[in-house]
């Protein structure tokens, strides 16, 4: 650079401030043309990737006290480490489940928007909520991986919604994201169309860790990510495959979980 051009160069901090100012200006202009909207109802809001006040207030967030194994909300605090009757009667193969919210009309809209309505941008927003809800799973976690789709379904849907959520969780936890470590080795019927009694059979033997990838899993502590926990048949089958392949432990993070055996269909 010659002396004349060097005199015109901005110091690095000033250049960064100028670039940031231009970035804010660009975002402001974009917001004028395409104002940010609520993730659930499309009402205009102040910033991208958020819910409006009405939708936020309608979400049934799962907060303590809840079952430490299955994140089933309790009506009152019955002491630290409390377990639900379901967790005691039928302990899951995974260690702990964490969920952002009860699966109701608002959370169903968010999940269905991500899963069926070509809104993959929801993955980062919902994943950020999952990072907060599952914060106690982060210490000791070494790998985050999604419940996989069968290749045929992945081809038809074009993306795996659980992988988008898992990528955001892995980034928030600061650990490795492993989207190919677990494979769905046979096609299965969609769980939502099956009665609870048939779901476990539908996914039995559906998951496996490819032999060549087992050394990457051996002895590692895993967080498995899915969008919704209904009966748990899918994540239980996936957990068993991971444990058989050598995982030291498996915890589960989901965006929403069904409580009381009721599945809500999103409208709109």
188 band by pLDDT with thresholds 50, 70 and 90: confident
CA dist 104 and 125 (Å) reads 18
Residues 191 and 76 both lie in one domain: yes
Residues 17 and 52 both lie in one domain: yes
- The CATH number covering residue 152 comes to 3.40.50.2020
CA dist 141 and 135 (Å) reads 10
CA dist 216 and 226 (Å) reads 21
Length of the chain: 268
Residues 76 and 30 both lie in one domain: no
For residue 126, being part of any structural domain is answered with: yes
Number of domains in the chain: 2
For residue 177, being part of any structural domain is answered with: yes
Residues 44 and 141 both lie in one domain: no
For residue 265, being part of any structural domain is answered with: no
Section 219-230 average pLDDT: 96
CA dist 143 and 137 (Å) reads 11
For residue 213, being part of any structural domain is answered with: yes
For residue 266, being part of any structural domain is answered with: no
Residues 229 and 162 both lie in one domain: yes
Its domain, for residue 142, covers 61-257
**pLDDT at position 31 over 60:** no
**pLDDT at position 18 over 60:** no
User: Of 158 and 222, which is predicted with more confidence?
Assistant: 222
For residue 6, being part of any structural domain is answered with: no
Coil, strand or helix at 91: coil
For residue 4, being part of any structural domain is answered with: no
Tell me the average pLDDT of the chain.
Answer: 85
**pLDDT at position 190 over 60:** yes
For residue 25, being part of any structural domain is answered with: yes
Residues 114 and 129 both lie in one domain: yes
CA dist 166 and 54 (Å) reads 27
Closest CA to 119 of 178, 151, 164, 153: 164
Residues 127 and 175 both lie in one domain: yes
Contact 111, 200 (CB under 8 A): no
**pLDDT at position 256 over 50:** yes
Q: Is the pTM of this model over 0.75?
A: yes
User: Of 30 and 115, which is predicted with more confidence?
Assistant: 115
Please name the residue that has the structure tokens 């260690």: 95
pLDDT for residue 198: 81
Residues 97 and 211 both lie in one domain: yes
pLDDT for residue 200: 80
29 band by pLDDT with thresholds 50, 70 and 90: very low
The CB density around residue 85, as the number of other CB atoms within 10 Å, is: 9
Section 19-28 average pLDDT: 49
Cα torsion angle, 229, 47, 136, 123, sign: positive
Residues of the chain with pLDDT > 90: what percent?
59
Residues paired with 99 in a beta bridge: 254
**pLDDT at position 110 over 90:** yes
In degrees rounded to 5, what are phi and psi of residue 193? -90, 0
Residues 53 and 168 both lie in one domain: no
Residues 111 and 213 both lie in one domain: yes
Residues 227 and 238 both lie in one domain: yes
Residues 39 and 125 both lie in one domain: no
**pLDDT at position 165 over 70:** yes
98 band by pLDDT with thresholds 50, 70 and 90: very high
């Amino acid at each position: 650079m010659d002396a004349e051009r060097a005199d015109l160069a901005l110091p690095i901090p000033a250049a960064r401030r100028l670039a940031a100012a231009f970035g804010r200006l660009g975002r402001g202009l974009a917001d004028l043309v395409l104002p940010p909207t609520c993730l659930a109802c499309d009402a205009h809001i102040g910033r991208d990737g958020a819910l409006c006040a009405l939708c936020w207030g309608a979400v049934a967030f799962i907060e303590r006290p809840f079952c430490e194994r299955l994140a089933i909300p309790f009506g009152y605090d019955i002491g630290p480490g409390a377990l639900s009757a379901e967790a005691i009667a039928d302990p899951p193969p995974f260690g702990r489940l964490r969920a952002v919210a009860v699966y109701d009309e608002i959370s169903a809209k968010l999940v269905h928007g991500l899963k069926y309505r070509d809104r993959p941008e929801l993955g980062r927003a919902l994943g950020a909520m999952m990072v907060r809800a599952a914060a106690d799973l982060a210490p000791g976690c070494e790998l985050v991986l999604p419940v996989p789709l069968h290749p045929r379904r992945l081809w038809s849907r074009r993306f795996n919604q659980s992988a988008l959520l898992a990528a955001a969780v892995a980034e928030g936890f600061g650990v490795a994201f492993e989207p190919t470590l677990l494979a769905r080795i046979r096609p299965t019927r969609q769980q939502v169309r099956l009665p609870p009694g048939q779901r476990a059979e539908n996914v039995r033997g559906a998951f496996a860790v490819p032999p060549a990838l087992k050394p990457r899993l051996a002895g590692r502590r895993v967080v498995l990510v899915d969008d919704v926990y209904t009966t748990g048949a899918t994540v239980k089958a996936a957990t068993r495959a991971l444990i058989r392949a050598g995982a030291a432990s498996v915890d589960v993070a989901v965006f929403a979980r069904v409580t009381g055996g009721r599945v809500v269909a999103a409208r709109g």
